[in-house]
Structure formats: structure tokens, C-alpha cells
């Protein structure tokens, strides 16, 4: 009788462990699926100009939209926004590049200019003034989706363009801090 009682307890214990363990495994599987990357984008058809309207970019930088120019490649897509600044009546250009999220860290490693962290735009963001062309650039990461780069002729303009991208792509208003970025960088 004693051996049978021990066997029943062991079977009960094993079933209990399996039930609890099965729930944990199911939860791990659900967590993995939630974090799994989305289907890779086809950058050759990904139209940044349609996703981030030129009128919204022009409004953000107090300008009049003249033209948008989409560009597609197998590893990224870009939109160039050509505008006229309302206050000065001078032409200006802004660009938004989008590429796989893996580019975020890789590009960071190859950027020669000092990087300034930026808050409130995505899962990670930094700004720099490109030593090559003198433009201000903000790169923003959206984990599980993509990264983008917004460019402008000033730190403030680049931040405004980046905020428009976030608003249109992720449908959430960016959290802004006092200056929109940390550190130096304004012209």
C-alpha cells in the first residue's frame, strides 16, 4: 500500500509540474511571437513620401511644399522634401531615410561626428551634425519595425521633421523635453 501511495504522489507531482511548466512554455512562446520581427519590408516599393506627407513636413518647418521626390533601393527607401521657407522665401530641403532596424547600431558605429542622445521619439534616438555635408541628422529606432533618419539644416528642423515621421508612422505624438534634444548642436 505504501509503494502505491508514493507512486500516486509522484504522478500527481509530475502532472502538477507539467501543467505549470506547460503554461510557462506557452507564455514564453507567446512572448517570443510578440517580439518576433515583422515580415521584412520590400524597400523597393516602400514609399516614404506617401507614409510621411510632404504637407506635414512643410508645416512642421514653417514652409510651403514645392515637391517630394521618392527614391527606392533594395535596402532602404527615402523621400526628399523640397520646400520654400515662408519667413525668408528661400528654398530648403529635408530628407527622411528608412531602412531595417539593424542599420541603427551599425550606422552608429560608423558615424564620425559626436552623437547626442534624443528622447521621446522611439526606442532609441541620437542626433549629430554630419562632418561631410554639415547637415543635422536624427536617427530613430523602432524595435521590431525599422529605423529612420531625418535631416535638416538645423538641429531644431531635424527634430521637427523626426517628430512628423513618428506621428505618421507610429500614430503617437512624441514626448518632448524642453529643447527636444540634449546638448549642443544648434547653429
Query: Of 179, 131, 175, 132, which is closest to residue 158 (Cα–Cα)?
Result: 179
The mean-pLDDT minimum among 11-20, 91-100, 117-126, 162-171 falls in: 11-20
State percent of the chain over pLDDT 90. 54
Residue 9: the pLDDT is 52
Q: Indicate the burial class of 177 (C-beta count within 10 angstroms; 0-12, 13-18, 19 or more).
A: exposed
Cross-strand pairs, 81: 68, 94
Q: Which residues contact 152 (CB under 8 A, 6 or more apart)?
A: 61, 94, 135, 136, 158, 159, 160, 161
Q: What is the CA radius of gyration of the chain?
A: 24
What single DSSP character describes residue 156?
H
**What totals of helices (H) and strands (E) does the chain contain, helices first?**
5, 7
Residue 46: the pLDDT is 86
Give the mean pLDDT of 34-43: 62
Cell of 141: 529606432
Give the mean pLDDT of 115-137: 93
pLDDT tens for each residue of 3-21: 455 444 544 444 343 333 4
Q: For residue 77, is pLDDT > 80? A: yes
SS3 assignment, position 125: strand
CA distance 59 to 123: 25
Identify whether the C-beta of residue 68 lies closer than 8 Å to the C-beta of residue 54: yes
Whether this prediction's pTM lies above 0.85 is answered by: no
Residue 155: the pLDDT is 96
Please give the C-alpha separations between residue 108 and each of 41, 63, 133, 141, 161, in angstroms, as whole numbers.
22, 30, 17, 11, 20
Confidence band for 41, pLDDT divided at 50, 70 and 90? confident
DSSP-derived secondary structure for 27-92: HHHHHHHHHSPPPPP-TTT--HHHHS-HHHHHHHTTEEEEEEEEEE-SS-EEEEEEEEETTTTEEE
Q: Which residues contact 175 (CB under 8 A, 6 or more apart)?
A: 119, 120
Amino acid at each position: 500500500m505504501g509503494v502505491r501511495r508514493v507512486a500516486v504522489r509522484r504522478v500527481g507531482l509530475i502532472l502538477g509540474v507539467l501543467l505549470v511548466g506547460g503554461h510557462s512554455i506557452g507564455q514564453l512562446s507567446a512572448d517570443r511571437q510578440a517580439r518576433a520581427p515583422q515580415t521584412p519590408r520590400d524597400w523597393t516599393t516602400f514609399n516614404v513620401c506617401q507614409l510621411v506627407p510632404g504637407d506635414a513636413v512643410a508645416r512642421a518647418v514653417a514652409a510651403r511644399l514645392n515637391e517630394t521626390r521618392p527614391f527606392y533601393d533594395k535596402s532602404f527607401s527615402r523621400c526628399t522634401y523640397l520646400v520654400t521657407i515662408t519667413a525668408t522665401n528661400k528654398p530648403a530641403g529635408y530628407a527622411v531615410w528608412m531602412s531595417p532596424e539593424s542599420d541603427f547600431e551599425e550606422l552608429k558605429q560608423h558615424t564620425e561626428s559626436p552623437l547626442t542622445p534624443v528622447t521621446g521619439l522611439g526606442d532609441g534616438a541620437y542626433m549629430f551634425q554630419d562632418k561631410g555635408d554639415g547637415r543635422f541628422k536624427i536617427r530613430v529606432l523602432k524595435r521590431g519595425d525599422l529605423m529612420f533618419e531625418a535631416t535638416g539644416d538645423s538641429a531644431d528642423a531635424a527634430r521637427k521633421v523626426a517628430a512628423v515621421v513618428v506621428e505618421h508612422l507610429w500614430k503617437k505624438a512624441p514626448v518632448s523635453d524642453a529643447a527636444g534634444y540634449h546638448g549642443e548642436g544648434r547653429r
